[in-house]
């Protein structure tokens, strides 16, 4: 599905990801854990094509066999990628419907988009009022994360990267988000970057990846997340 080869990424002249190799398979759920600053968000942004993150010449990113490393974010989205931001921004003057319409590029009827957004909002416990407000204006951390998940669902992408979708989210909101993601998983590939085992309790990852200093230093099953939670990242050194 997504094949990362010799991935070396720098930002502001500083190398963050160092020769990373990994293949994400279709339909599986992955968790990416790792200490602060290990390069998790950098990897997420780079998969989506953020222009600040520069790939080395040898770096390759293939989505279903097609090289995507030269594509802009919009093209990557059309190829089926979605990124839920660690810190979703507010957009005054723009409603989520308008943003979704733009992102769908005419592939879904505006009325249909509205209907789906309203249905998903109900499932996620997002109020009508929040849904109709300019995007994320005055919204809490948890509300913003829910809005990200709602957008992911309407856009119907195949590979979804959730950067700390569980951070700053209360227990009930976490349940809403987790149940929603589980219900709508189908054959999608999920990559959930997280610091906590609590979301993984619901998402049940097939694989847990640990990043440290821009590298994947360990790959394990769900129990790896539990071990890390109890023993910390020092455990990896052993």
Ligand X SMILES: Nc1ncnc2c1ncn2[C@@H]1O[C@H](COP(=O)(O)OP(=O)(O)O)[C@@H](O)[C@H]1O
Q: Which residues bind ligand X (CB under 6 A)?
A: 11-12, 14, 16, 34, 36-42, 52
Least spacing, CB of residue 164 vs ligand X, in Å: 8
Query: What residue 52 binds from Mg ion, ligand X, none (CB within 5 to 8 A, per partner kind)?
Result: ligand X
Among 53-61, 82-90, 176-184, 219-227, the segment contacting Mg ion (CB under 5 A):
82-90
* Angle ∠(83,25,161) on CA atoms, nearest 5: 10
Of 36 and 66, nearer to ligand X (C-beta) is: 36
Q: Please state, as a whole number, how many other Cβ atoms lie within 10 Å of the Cβ of residue 69.
A: 17
Among 4, 24, 32, 41, the residue binding Mg ion under the rule CB under 5 A is 41
Name which of 142, 193, 141, 190 is nearest 163 in CA terms. Answer: 193
136 makes contact with Mg ion (CB under 5 A) = no
Number of chain residues interacting with Mg ion (CB under 5 A): 3
36 or 230, CB closer to Mg ion? 36
For ligand X, give the closer residue by CB, 120 or 190: 190
Nearest to 50 by CA among 17, 91, 18, 28: 17
CA distances from 20 to 48, 106, 163, 217, 227 (A): 16, 36, 18, 10, 23
Helices 96-104, 141-155: crossing angle, 10 deg rounding? 30
Tokens of 90: 């507010």
Instruction: State the binding partner of 12 from Mg ion, ligand X, none, CB within 5 to 8 A by kind.
Output: ligand X
Whole-angstrom distance, CA of residue 81 vs CA of residue 50 = 13
Shortest CB 196 distance to ligand X, Å:
14
Q: How many CB atoms lie within 10 A of CB 102?
A: 11
Least Cβ distance, residue 115 to ligand X (angstroms): 35
Least Cβ distance, residue 40 to Mg ion (angstroms): 5
Q: Which of 233, 208, 205 has its CA nearest to residue 219?
A: 208
Which CB, 11 or 94, lies closer to ligand X? Answer: 11
**Chosen from ligand X, Mg ion, none, partner binding at 36 (C-beta under 5 to 8 Å by type):** ligand X
Query: For binding to Mg ion (CB under 5 A), which residues are involved?
Result: 40-41, 86
């Amino acid at each position: 599905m997504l094949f990362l080869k010799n991935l070396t990424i720098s930002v502001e002249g500083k190398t963050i990801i160092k020769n990373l190799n990994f293949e994400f398979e279709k339909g599986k759920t992955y968790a990416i854990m790792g200490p602060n600053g290990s390069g998790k968000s950098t990897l997420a942004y780079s998969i989506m094509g953020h222009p600040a993150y520069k790939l080395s010449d040898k770096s390759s990113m293939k989505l279903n066999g097609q090289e995507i490393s030269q594509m802009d974010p919009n093209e990557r989205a059309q190829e089926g990628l979605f990124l839920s931001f660690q810190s979703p921004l507010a957009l005054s003057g723009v409603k989520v419907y308008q943003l979704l319409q733009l992102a769908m590029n005419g592939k879904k009827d505006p009325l249909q988009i509205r209907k789906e957004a309203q249905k998903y909002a109900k499932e996620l416990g997002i109020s009508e009022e929040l849904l109709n407000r300019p995007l994320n204006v005055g919204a809490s951390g948890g509300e913003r994360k829910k809005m990200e998940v709602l957008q992911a669902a309407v856009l119907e992408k195949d590979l979804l990267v959730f950067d700390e979708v569980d951070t700053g989210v209360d227990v009930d909101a976490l349940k809403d988000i987790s149940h929603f993601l589980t219900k709508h998983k189908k054959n999608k590939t999920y990559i959930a970057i997280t610091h906590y085992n609590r979301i993984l309790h619901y998402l049940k990852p097939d694989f847990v990846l640990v990043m440290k200093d821009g590298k994947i230093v360990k790959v394990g099953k769900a129990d790896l997340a539990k071990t890390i939670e109890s023993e910390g990242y020092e455990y990896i050194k052993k």
